[in-house]
Each structure stands twice: as C-alpha cells, then as structure tokens.
Amino acid sequence: MSRAEHVYVTGMSAISAGGHDIEQHWQALMQGETKIGPSQKDDLSTWDNQLAGEIQNFDWNRALPDRKLMKLISKQDIIGLHAAIKACDASGLTPFLAQAMQDDVSLCDKTAVFVGSPGNKYFQQYDFLALVKESNGDMQHFAKHLFEQVHPTWLLRILPNNVLAYVGIQLGCKGVNHNFTNHVVGGMQALIEAYYAIKTGQADRAVVVAYDIATEPQARFYYEQLGVLSANKLAPFDKSHDGTVLAEGAAAIVLESASSVRLRGVKPIAQMLGGKSTTEGVGICSLTDDGKPLASLMQQGLEQMGLYSYDVDMLVAHGNGNQKSDDSEALAIAEVFGERSVPVTAFKPLMGHTLCASGLIDTTLAIQALQYKHIPAIINCKKAAPQAEKLDLVFSAREMKAQLPTAMVINRGFGSMNAMVAFKACEHHE
C-alpha cells in the first residue's frame, strides 16, 4: 500500500539547554560540553538534587511572531510552537503555505501536523491553588469565587493539543493530524506516523514537533522518589551512570514526499528510511532487563526498511544514564549488531532528558551528524559499564567513512515503550 516515493527531511530545529538552534547544539556536542546545572528557574534550594537541563538566555518575549498568542498558551506550548515555526522557516514551508492559502488551499489540505505532546502537566493546575486553599473543601465557596480567581480561558491555555492547533492556525496546515501523548516516545511516534502518512499518500508533507518541560518540580519530586535521577551527572553507559537529569526542550522536523520536494524546489537534508515502535507490556515504570524486546524491535525495524545491521554507520542510543535502561539497551544493541560493530553515541549529557521532546531532539542531531559525517562522543562516558563493554562506544568524536551514511536513533519511555527510526544522508533530491 505504500507509494514508492521516498520521504525526505527538508527543515528542522531544536531548542534546549544545549542551544537555541541545531548549530549551537552541534558545536557544544563536538566540544564535549554539558549544559546541565543547578535549576535556576525554580527555588529548589532545600532539595538535595537540583540538577536540571534548562534553556538559558532565551528571549521568551520574542519566542513567537504573534506576541498576543503567548498570553493564551503555556510556556511548554510556546517552545513547541517556536520549534515548529523555525523548522518550517528553515525548510521554506512558511512562505509556501502562506501562498498556498491564497492560491491553492489543496496544498494546505495535504500538509500534515504530527505532534509529540507531554499532555497536561501538574503546573497547569496551579491557577486553582489559591481557590482550593480558600475553599478548604467547601465546594460552594469554590464555585462562588471561581470567576474571581481563575482566568476565563484557563482551559484553552492547558489544552494538550495547543501546539498542533496553532501550527495549523499560524502556518496554514490543514491535513491529517495526530497529537501523541505517550510520554517519552510520543515525539518519536509522531515522526513515525508522519512518515507513514506520507508513504500512504495521506499527506504530501508533514510538520512534526515534540516538546516538553520535564523540569517541573512536582514531577521531578516523584522521579526522585523513584530513584531514577542522578545528583551528579548524566553519564550514559559509563560505569558511574546513576540516573538521568530532567530537562526542557523542543524540536521539529519537516518531512516531505519526493514529489513535494520537487514541487517546492527544495534541497533535502536527509532521507527518512522508516521507523517502528512497540511496547514491552511490562508496566508503567518497568522494562525487560535482558533487552530482548528492544532488540526485536530494532531487528524488525531494519527488516522493514530493507537494511542489514552493517548498513548502519551510527547508532544514537536513548542513553538516558539510568542504569537499568542503559544496561538493557546495551544488551539489545549488542544482540542486533554484534560486538563492537556499530559506533554508539548518545546526546543527552549535553542537554538532559527532555522526555517527550527527546526522540526528536536526538533525531535532529543525528541528521546533523549525517550531514557533517561526524559522530560526536558520548559526553561523561569514560569507561564502559559492564553491560556496555561489548559496544563500540564513541569516547572521542570520529568521522563516518560512508559516502552517504545511515543513522539509527533509539527512544524509550514509560509504559515500557520502545521506538526506533533511521535516516540516510542525501546529497541531492530525486
């Protein structure tokens, strides 16, 4: 049922603690920097662990062209929409759609929006805190003072599909759309489904965006109790790995069919080869220790794409620094690729774990690596953890020798979810 057309990346963007654009992220990665540090945004001074990956020196007032809109949506929506607009600008899609709205709206009808949304956050309910305190369980008091205490458009500020809606409204995308609220892998699933929407002819092009402010204190309180946060550093596959660091960020990718690329006369950055996602089905916070389900997913993904393991020139691991996740991931990679047969890197030590945005941020940086034909080193990884000793961990940056290299990116999340995608560098479009 798939049409033969290839699917290309024609624009992308990222914002996180690692930088305000992809080039800043790339430079920091290649220099081995980590932008993780004590939280500056929330007063966690009495907390033992204050590490976070926060976006620094960003002019939030200029985040969106429509400043009025910024008052109507939440901060996490703002960075999501910011990333989407930047990727569309980079691909030239913004003026194309503006023109299409005037001349041929059918082009807008074939422009999809796929979003990885963090869903609702605890912080969005805080507008009710004062009212709840005053009411002290008296719902009649609560109702009587509701309109004095809470803004009439509160619900519209917290809609989990705000970014999707405003990408449509602001840019003129009117096609097939989905808003994935599947924790970490939501962003990666948005990318995979956008790919299939194009392959099956549902869409000619798609704006894919994922975003998250994973640093909110109420959630990090729970992550800390679960024992998954590091108070030291995020060190994937290193023998000292002891947890992850929560972060905020967003990324966006514009995907297009070969016909759309030709129609618009744009130069593709990379070719998307496909992707796949499955659940291990073992619970919300659990995963399988031996990595077998992840290995099976990768193997099936490779087969679907018509690739052999030796076709992959770089593997961007999920590598969140959590011992259990890293170890099972290392076992899965070794099972599929064999011992030390694919260079394995991970990007999260740069900016932290942005949860729902992490799959897309890692993907944009993987595509950047394909363009530069360089594999960044795993920051903070000096000596492999026992389970990762069979991997070819990238301790220092290295070149990719293939003329048009291929990268695989892995993403994992709550719900024992795994996802993978693969991209190939391209010099020119069809």
Interface residue with other proteins among 249, 291, 293, 405 (CB under 8 A) is 293
3-state secondary structure of 38: strand
Q: Rg of the Cα trace of the chain?
A: 21
Interface residue with other proteins among 98, 222, 289, 399 (CB under 8 A) is 222
Smallest distance, Å, CB 78 to other proteins? 15
Q: Are 386 and 376 in contact (CB under 8 A)?
A: no
89 binds other proteins, rule: CB under 8 A? no
Question: What are 276's two structure tokens?
Answer: 């796949």
Write the CB contacts of 366 (distance below 8 Å, at least 6 apart in sequence): 314, 316, 407, 409, 423
Using the rule CB under 8 A, give the single segment among 25-33, 127-135, 235-243, 315-323 that binds other proteins: 127-135
Using the rule CB under 8 A, give the single segment among 218-226, 344-352, 371-379, 403-411 that binds other proteins: 218-226
Residue 145 or 264 with smaller CB distance to other proteins: 145
Name the CA dihedral angle for 49, 53, 54, 55, rounded to a multiple of 10 degrees.
170
Residue numbers 252-271 binding other proteins by CB under 8 A: none
Smallest distance, Å, CB 140 to other proteins? 4
CB atoms within 10 A of CB 281: 11
Residue numbers 142-171 binding other proteins by CB under 8 A: 142-144, 146-147, 150-156, 158-162, 164-166, 168-169
Give which of 150, 162, 53 is closest to 117, Cα–Cα.
162
Residue numbers 333-362 binding other proteins by CB under 8 A: none
99 binds other proteins, rule: CB under 8 A? no
98 binds other proteins, rule: CB under 8 A? no
Using the rule CB under 8 A, give the single segment among 51-59, 180-188, 264-272, 319-327 that binds other proteins: 180-188
Smallest distance, Å, CB 166 to other proteins? 8
Smallest distance, Å, CB 57 to other proteins? 24
Q: Are 185 and 60 in contact (CB under 8 A)?
A: no
177 binds other proteins, rule: CB under 8 A? yes
Give which of 15, 59, 58, 54 is closest to 35, Cα–Cα.
54
126 binds other proteins, rule: CB under 8 A? yes
Smallest distance, Å, CB 259 to other proteins? 17
DSSP 62: G
415 binds other proteins, rule: CB under 8 A? yes
In DSSP notation, 297-338 reads HHHHHHHHHT--GGG-SEEE----S-HHHHHHHHHHHHHHH-
109 binds other proteins, rule: CB under 8 A? yes
Interface residue with other proteins among 20, 86, 121, 205 (CB under 8 A) is 121
Give which of 16, 38, 40, 39 is closest to 29, Cα–Cα.
16
Smallest distance, Å, CB 177 to other proteins? 5
* Residue with tokens 């679907």, as numbered in its chain: 304
Residue 152 or 386 with smaller CB distance to other proteins: 152
42 binds other proteins, rule: CB under 8 A? yes
Q: Are 253 and 21 in contact (CB under 8 A)?
A: no
Q: At what angle do helices 162-171 and 93-103 cross, to 10 degrees?
A: 70
Residue numbers 268-287 binding other proteins by CB under 8 A: 276-285
State residue 19 phi and psi, 5-degree precision. Answer: 155, 170
47 binds other proteins, rule: CB under 8 A? yes
Name the CA dihedral angle for 194, 198, 202, 207, rounded to a multiple of 10 degrees.
50
Interface residue with other proteins among 8, 26, 96, 180 (CB under 8 A) is 180
Smallest distance, Å, CB 374 to other proteins? 33
